[in-house]
Amino acid sequence: MIAQPKASHFVDGAYVEDVAGAAIDVIFPATGEVIARVHEATPAILDRALASARRAQGDWARTRPVDRARILRRAVDLIHAQAEDLAQLETLDTGKPIQETRVADWPSGADALEYFAGLAPTVTGQTIPLGQDFVYTLREPVGVCLGIGAWNYPSQIACWKSAPALALGNAMVFKPSEVTPLGALKLAEILVQAGLPAGLFNVVQGRGAVGAALVTDPRVDKVSLTGSVPTGQKVYAAAAAGVRHVTMELGGKSPLIIFDDANVEDAVGAALLANFYSTGQICSNGTRVFVQKGIKTRFLDRLKARTEAIVLGDPRKDDTQLGPLVSAAQLDKVMGYVAQARDQGGRVVTGGNRAPIKDGFYIQPTVFADVTDDMTLACEEVFGPVMAVLDFEDEAEVIARANATEFGLAAGVFTADLARAHRVVAQLQAGTCWINAYNLTPVESPFGGVKMSGVGRENGHAAVEHYTQIKSVYVGMGPVDAPY
Ligand code: NDP
């Protein structure tokens, strides 16, 4: 055991163990070794977590925003001070290359804490004049928020949810994915070290059933989930029974549209980032790469050459660019999609097999060309390093095909013609779009999906809407004019 946390849960300001819960082995995806073991939260642990969140939230809501912010900013400093250790832990938990976890995961989480610390003191209500009377509005916290995370960015997700929640006066109970339980515990430890009062950020481990039990608990006021569409549908429905607030960050099958006039190297670079970063396990990935016919040969030649130069291997090594998938189950799922794409007529440009590495859940970075809209590879979220390249002739056609999906998380356009870029983006059904860029998600920019890809937005000023609620206060300044 090389990454064993002090205990499975973090409740009411301290690590807590309860071995009565079923064991969950944490597996290092590069070797298949068990690196830690945690236990699923029992009902007693959940009760303590929710009770402490409820108790702590009232005082926190009454704390001056600038004082809340100071604590979060101290947490940012603590994260930066142990950046290398945190990156290594994230790599063990997820199997993602250390060169990614050093720059993306915790750094992006720290950015969220810093951003919402700065934003919280600026959040104010309105005054609405009504002649002699007036209304003023207060932006109040929602209360106790439940965060449920996916396994692809476990620490970033924990930060993206807790940062606005805490900055704006809420408490949070967070359940990480059972596959990656370690990062959120570290966040809880860091927040308490930074001065966060006990009970405001609790971490409880468990599988889906633990998440489901929390969603319907009457002490939960809001649910924020990052996960797949089927889980989102279940959680949204369960939350609706209590008319709870929700933020749903769900899956995607996003189009990346490359016009003939695009810079080929930039477009290839973006397609690689949009499919192979985090071993392809990113919800906003541009997994349907539409390439206009005039550029197709050049694009595929460069794509093949650059894909075959990717360094695949042990994610702990500095030069590794592509690590394993997160789990054996995910590897089976992805290999199933590859086999199906071959059967349905996809042409393998490169890859298509498990990587020749003895242990671990590795697959070669894979590119399919001549993919058509009806192939499963073009319709379903694979969540692995498998790129589908589709051909197109003209702008109207590609917009219609890009939108012909139940998902609407993200989209990208590459072209030298900026008027066209804006015209196309205006017609794409997606919550986040990029022009001549892909998969950049700075905390300043709202992030979330339309259609089946989600409800609500994380990050940016937009997140304030989702972690506060408005109270309108009517102030009568004159006599009460009753007709009775
Ligand atoms: P899942 O949907 O399987 O799980 C997400 C989380 O929900 C996990 O913590 C899971 O627990 C929990 N859960 C499962 N069932 C329930 C339930 N009935 N009630 C409450 N909680 C439940 O997603 P994955 O973890 O497999 O993550 C991959 C998916 O997440 C992809 O589809 C991807 O698109 C999406 N995603 C979306 C992002 C976005 O921002 N839009 C970002 C990242 C990922 P457990 O895992 O322990 O079963």
pLDDT tens by residue, 318-359: 999 999 999 999 999 999 999 999 999 999 999 999 999 989
- The count of C-alpha atoms lying within 13 angstroms of the C-alpha of 294, restricted to the half-sphere facing its C-beta, is 9
pTM: 0.97
Task: Tell me if residue 283 is catalytic.
Answer: yes
Q: Which ligand 1 atom minimizes the distance to the CA of 409?
A: 41
pLDDT, position 2: 87
Chain centroid, CA 42 distance in Å: 26
- The count of C-alpha atoms lying within 13 angstroms of the C-alpha of 401, restricted to the half-sphere facing its C-beta, is 22
How many other CB atoms are found less than 10 A from the CB of residue 315?
27
Across residues 15-19, what is the average pLDDT? 98
Q: Distance (Å, rounded) from C-alpha 418 to C-alpha 425?
A: 10
- The count of C-alpha atoms lying within 13 angstroms of the C-alpha of 459, restricted to the half-sphere facing its C-beta, is 23
Q: How far is CA 147 from CA 78, 115, 255, 447, 467, in A?
A: 22, 19, 28, 16, 12
pLDDT digits (tens, 9 = 90+) for 190-223: 999 999 999 999 999 999 999 999 999 999 999 9
Q: Which residues on neighbouring strands pair with residue 38, listed in sequence order?
A: 24
- Burial of residue 243 (CB within 10 Å: 0-12, 13-18, 19+) is exposed
pLDDT digits (tens, 9 = 90+) for 95-148: 999 999 999 999 999 999 999 999 999 999 999 999 999 999 999 999 999 999
Q: Whose Cα sits closest to atom 22 in ligand 1?
A: 208
Task: Tell me if residue 381 is catalytic.
Answer: no
φ and ψ of 475, to 5 deg: -110, 115
* DSSP class of 472: E
* DSSP class of 178: T
Q: Distance (Å, rounded) from C-alpha 54 to C-alpha 47?
A: 11
Q: Which ligand 1 atom minimizes the distance to the CA of 230?
A: 2
Q: To the nearest 10°, the Cα dihedral for 353, 356, 358, 360?
A: -50
Tokens of 446: 């709202």
Q: Which ligand 1 atom minimizes the distance to the CA of 454?
A: 41
pLDDT digits (tens, 9 = 90+) for 77-93: 999 999 999 999 999 99
Task: Tell me if residue 161 is catalytic.
Answer: yes
How many other CB atoms are found less than 10 A from the CB of residue 150?
23
Q: How far is CA 451 from CA 26, 124, 153, in A?
A: 34, 31, 23
Q: Whose Cα sits closest to atom 37 in ligand 1?
A: 250
Taken as a whole, the chain contains a residue count of 484
- Give the pairing of strands 432-435 and 410-414: parallel
pLDDT, position 1: 63
Q: Distance (Å, rounded) from C-alpha 383 to C-alpha 403?
A: 20
Tokens of 39: 């236990």
CA-nearest of 49, 82, 61 to 194 is: 82
Q: Whose Cα sits closest to atom 9 in ligand 1?
A: 177
Choice among 40, 100, 114, 458 that is catalytic:
458
Q: Is 359 helix (H, G, I), strand (E, B) or coil?
A: coil
* Ligand 1 center from residue 165 Cα (angstroms): 20
User: In this model, does residue 433 exceed pLDDT 70?
Assistant: yes
Which residues sit with their C-beta closer than 6 Å to ligand 1? 148-152, 175, 177-179, 207-208, 211-212, 215, 225-228, 231, 234-235, 249-251, 283, 381, 383, 409, 449, 454
Task: Tell me if residue 471 is catalytic.
Answer: no
Q: What percent of the chain has pLDDT over 70?
A: 100
- Give the pairing of strands 366-369 and 386-392: parallel
